[in-house]
């Protein structure tokens, strides 16, 4: 196995910023930084006054990648391209969306915030989606011949 683009310092910085953002959101708004819940609150708002911070959070996620590249930290990182067909990407995206609804949360909500709060439910959810990810990668790479 060859490791490509091994970048421990930017990864450490990025992880630290994710942790700080999650802690700040919990302290400032009393909310868990689960991306599926934040995005869902934009699409299906329960409170009209609750949309502005959600939009700012999602905008920060999107702009963060552009700012990272603009500041020159992404130099040497190749163009990201999918190695599977578009219909398979769409099916995968729909399955992730269904999974976040069934698991009542996503990797950021359960895996980062829930585990930090020592939530047993989040531990089970994280083990389930990480386990299914390992199985999916094995099946796609070694059994199906797709990738």
Q: Of 61, 80, 99, which residue constitutes the final position of a domain?
A: 80
Please state, rounded to an integer, the average pLDDT across all residues of the chain.
Answer: 84
Q: Quick one: average pLDDT of 52-71?
A: 87
Same domain flag for 27 and 43: yes
Same domain flag for 63 and 98: no
Same domain flag for 1 and 26: yes
Same domain flag for 129 and 60: no
Same domain flag for 107 and 126: yes
Q: Quick one: average pLDDT of 129-134?
A: 89
Q: Of 57, 80, 103, which residue constitutes the final position of a domain?
A: 80
131 pLDDT higher than 90: yes
Same domain flag for 37 and 14: yes
Same domain flag for 70 and 135: no
* Confidence class for position 74, pLDDT limits 50, 70, 90: low
Say what the pLDDT of residue 123 is: 93
Cα separation, 112 vs 15, in Å, equals: 10
Same domain flag for 43 and 106: no
Cα separation, 30 vs 23, in Å, equals: 9
Residue-by-residue DSSP string for 68-128: HHHTTTTTTPPPP--SS-HHHHHHHHHHHHHHHHHTTS-IIIIIIIIHHTT-HHHHHHHHH
Same domain flag for 73 and 21: yes
Same domain flag for 73 and 101: no
Number of domains within the chain: 2
- 141: domain range? 82-147
Per-residue pLDDT tens over the stretch 99-122: 887 878 888 888 888 888 899 999
């Amino acid at each position: 196995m060859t490791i490509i683009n091994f970048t421990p310092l930017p990864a450490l910085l990025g992880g630290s910023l994710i942790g700080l953002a999650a802690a700040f959101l919990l302290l400032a708004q009393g909310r868990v930084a689960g991306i599926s819940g934040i995005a869902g609150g934009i699409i299906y708002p329960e409170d009209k006054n609750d949309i502005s911070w959600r939009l700012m959070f999602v905008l920060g996620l999107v702009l963060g990648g552009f700012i990272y590249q603009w500041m020159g930290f992404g130099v040497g990182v190749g163009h990201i391209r999918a190695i599977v067909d578009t219909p398979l990407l769409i099916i995968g995206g729909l399955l992730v969306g269904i999974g976040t609804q069934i698991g009542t949360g996503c990797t950021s909500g359960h895996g980062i915030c829930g585990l930090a709060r020592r939530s047993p439910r989040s531990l089970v959810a994280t083990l389930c989606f990480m386990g299914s990810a390992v199985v999916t990668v094995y099946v796609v790479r070694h059994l199906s011949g797709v990738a």
